[in-house]
Amino acid sequence: MIEGRCISCGRGLAEEGSVQFPCPECGHIIKRCRVCRDRSAEYVCPECGFRGP
């Protein structure tokens, strides 16, 4: 289980398939839920503004 909320939708990250990873540009930790990952929902890094799928 990952603590926190999905950067794309704000959903909790208790479900299986949620991930956290460093932003490709600045290293800030990005957290995503399984649903947004499956849908390739856009996210924006709050530190540097990097946009990812």
Backbone angles phi, psi at 44, to 5 degrees: -130, 125
The full set of domain ranges for the chain reads 1-53
The residues near 49 (Cβ < 8 Å, ≥ 6 apart) are none
Contact 48, 31 (CB under 8 A): no
pTM over 0.85: yes
Which tens digits make up the pLDDT trace of 4-39?
999 999 999 988 999 999 999 999 999 999 999 999
Q: Does residue 1 register a pLDDT over 80?
A: no
The pLDDT of residue 15 is: 85
CA distance 26 to 48: 7
SS3 sequence of 37-52: HHHCCCEECCCCCCEE
